[in-house]
Amino acid sequence: MYHMAQNQIPVPTMVLNVK
């Protein structure tokens, strides 16, 4: 799920992972 977002937004991905 986050993998796809990482390609589009690698910075916000980290924030979502923490949440």
- How far CA 16 is from CA of 2, 10, in Å, comes to 8, 10
Provide the pLDDT for residue 10. 64
User: Per the structure block, which two tokens stand in for 8?
Assistant: 């589009």
Are the CB atoms for 16 and 5 separated by under 8 Å? yes
Q: What is the pLDDT of residues 1-19, one digit of tens each?
A: 555 555 566 676 666 666 6
pTM higher than 0.75 for the full model? no
Q: Which amino acid is at 6?
A: Q
Handedness of CA 2, 8, 10, 11 (dihedral sign): negative
